[in-house]
Amino acid sequence: MDDVRDVTAELCRIADAEQFDPLDTVGLLDRGHRGRRHRRILTVSGAVAAVAAVAVTVSLLPGNSRAGQPSVAEEQKHEAYFQPVPGIPRGEDAVGVPVSNAEALRRCTLRLPDLKGPLENVVGGYRTGDRATTNPMRSKRIQLCTVPGGDRPTAALLAKLRKDPVPTDPATQLLNCSAQSWVDVTNWRIVASARSKTWPSILLTAVSPSGRKAITCEIEKNSLDGGMVMRGTAFLDLDSLVRGKDPILTPAKGSQRADLYTGTDLGGQKCGTKMCYEVRAWGRVASTATRIHLQIGPSAHTDIPVTDGWFAYIWLSQPTTAPASALKATAFDKFDNVVRTLP
């Protein structure tokens, strides 16, 4: 038991000197072991329990708790990746806030200093994450800009992302979406994603921690620089969807929320004497849906998983003689009942 008292005293000393996250027993043990290398390893279960109890006590002392707050490591990582933009809301607070044409131009010139306005006029103005274009009648060349939020990506983050422009890791995908939009979505939850089989491209949807905001994000090799992509990146304020701006469908019978569907981007290529089609879209249907069934004629079909109503797909069809107009998308529940047919 002398060993327990000695390690306990040492851990208390370390805890006073350094800030730990709540219940960081692993961190305390690791530092305790490094500071007392001449002590033999504790193997008695009672000793381990005693050390864990001390760690709990120390973490709950006034001034030592960080419950509900980002860890020091998370804060440092955030500072390394994003810089605040004065006067522009950050994170989830930036989503859904109207932005005038003049403010959209100001933000776009922060992002693209060589951009020459004016921007195309948009009825109702822009929102953070909207794709803006310069007015072709009054600009020498058409330029694209995703109206940015208040989380400006650092040079270190952009360099990291350019090494792997179409990542497979979900955390890096969210970093990419954050850099595209200047809105930090790194702690958002991916609810649907798809990857192209024909060229490097990802389409994903993520929901904010509050559940009130969402982002749909397309990642391609040139998407970081505002290049033309098929679907692009956009935000949704799920409490205040705007018909005409958001892809709203009439909700299915019994649904308490609006269904969403972008419609399908469709391209084709020859597969011998037949055609293969690549189709992509994202959306949200009733939460009872479990799959979206895609079909083009009798021989080309697949099922797309649905998570809490959300789905995304980039589907390369099997060879078919059917025309592109034969594409059908149908949502089913777990009992194979039709939830809705998508237009």
> Could you read off the pLDDT of 80-109 as tens digits, one per residue?
899 999 999 999 999 988 999 899 999 999
116 pLDDT exceeds 50?
yes
pTM of the model: 0.75
Whether 178 is covered by a domain: the verdict is no
d(CA 87, CA 138): 28
Lowest model confidence (mean pLDDT) among 40-54, 179-193, 291-305, 324-338: 40-54
Claim to verify: residue 191 and residue 54 sit in the same structural domain: no
- In sequence order, the β-bridge partners of residue 220 are 201
Q: Which residue has the higher pLDDT, 45 or 145?
A: 145
What average pLDDT does this structure show over 135-164? 87
Of 11, 27, 59, which residue sits at a domain end?
A: 59
Whether 115 is covered by a domain: the verdict is no
Tell me what percent of the residues of the chain surpass a pLDDT of 90: 53
Whether 197 is covered by a domain: the verdict is yes
d(CA 65, CA 57): 11
135 pLDDT exceeds 90?
no
Whether 11 is covered by a domain: the verdict is yes
Tell me what pLDDT residue 94 has. 94
d(CA 111, CA 124): 22
Radius of gyration for the alpha carbons in the chain, expressed in angstroms and rounded: 26
User: Among candidates 285, 231, 223, 220, which has minimal Cα distance to 259?
Assistant: 285
d(CA 331, CA 343): 11
Identify the top-confidence range among 52-66, 138-152, 256-270, 326-340: 326-340
Whether 193 is covered by a domain: the verdict is yes
Of 42, 59, 76, which residue sits at a domain end?
A: 59
d(CA 140, CA 137): 8
Name the residue range of residue 292's domain.
187-342
Q: Which residue has the higher pLDDT, 60 or 241?
A: 241
User: Among candidates 143, 200, 194, 196, which has minimal Cα distance to 170?
Assistant: 194
User: Among candidates 207, 199, 232, which has minimal Cα distance to 217?
Assistant: 232
Tally of structural domains, the chain: 2
Where are any strands of DSSP class E within 167-264?
189-195, 201-207, 213-220, 234-237, 248-249, 259-261
**Band (311; pLDDT cuts 50, 70, 90):** very high
Of 12, 40, 59, which residue sits at a domain end?
A: 59
For the record, the structure tokens of 160 come out as: 């990291």
DSSP state, 209? T
d(CA 89, CA 109): 17
Tell me what pLDDT residue 78 has. 65
Whether 224 is covered by a domain: the verdict is yes
**Band (154; pLDDT cuts 50, 70, 90):** very high
Tell me what pLDDT residue 31 has. 41
Whether 41 is covered by a domain: the verdict is yes
Tell me what pLDDT residue 279 has. 93
d(CA 59, CA 7): 16
Tokens 């099997």 -> residue:
318
Whether 267 is covered by a domain: the verdict is yes
d(CA 146, CA 188): 20
Tell me what pLDDT residue 222 has. 76
133 pLDDT exceeds 70?
yes
Please name the amino acid found at residue 315. Answer: W
What average pLDDT does this structure show over 62-78? 54
12 pLDDT exceeds 70?
no
Angle (CA) 278 283 178, round 5°: 90
pLDDT, averaged across the chain: 80
